[in-house]
Structure 1
């Protein structure tokens, strides 16, 4: 699996080499492997609010950054935290089309899934630049073409480590859509300079 990631996403080579070295060390390390973040959608806030979901996902798992932060903090400050290599995942996998439907339902407006080659890359190019753009495109080429189903045993392990179930994507979208809509209502309309 790691070799496939390095092959398709060379920018991840350093991260994967470091995690492999840590996992093989005798220092009882905690290595947390992460899935794609829910919060990545926020890069495309303007597009989503304008009715376009441009993140190509065949079927993949996502995690909430708050769960990642909570688990990392616990691993750092709790001396009893068990060493090992953990896959931090969310409770389910979903497609880009399903993500667009969730946004549409929570925003109360149409949101169209865009995954045509050239289309989503052009939208990425408006929001990202340089190495970050290259990394995101290579990552989502992989996510567009490969499925990453959710392993229930891993979800159980994450639930045990966190002390609660990992946050689900729909709840994240509901909270974020509520915030975005409140920001829209509180933004004063543009005034004419004439």
Structure 2
């Protein structure tokens, strides 16, 4: 198409887990069926910073830059069990990962959101189970160099939630 742009392709947003923090902290369960392939969860602040840097780079370029794609990922690739273990460590009490029941997940969500959205969440989760959201070779290094600092880690999220509770 001759498009001259940067396309950002972010992985699972760490901030998505704000919606389930009460389930984790009150009931001791990490309910997101994210499977065991792994998700390179990314902080939305990192996505925003990468976007801003790319906008500035393109704006300041003397030449038209070619199409570019950037996978925006976090520093770790985590499974459901990994995430529950992080919450366990941060909260100092057991947090369980109940598994990958996407149909049950959808049914629960229908109590809080429109049916079409709950179904969409189920489809997304099923993709996590089959494919995960894995970084490509060099993605993390590229982002770290672009940002000039380490990527924000999922571990920081429950630590922040625990101190604000």
1:142 paired residue number: 127
Rg: which structure is higher? 1
2:91 paired residue number: 107
Q: Please say if 1:52 is aligned against 2:29.
A: yes
Cα RMSD (Å) of the superposition?
2.1
2:72 paired residue number: 88
Stretches of structure 1 that go unaligned for 5 or more consecutive residues are: 1-23, 182-194
Equivalents in 2 of 1:80, 1:123: separation in Å?
Answer: 48
Higher strand residue share: 1
Normalising by structure 2, what TM-score? 0.82
2:44 paired residue number: 65
Higher relative contact order (CA 8 A, sep 6+): 2
Mean alpha-carbon deviation: is it higher for 94-103 or for 148-157?
Answer: 148-157
Equivalents in 2 of 1:120, 1:166: separation in Å?
Answer: 30
Give deviations 1:91-115, integer Å, cap 9, x for gaps. 1211101101111211222211122
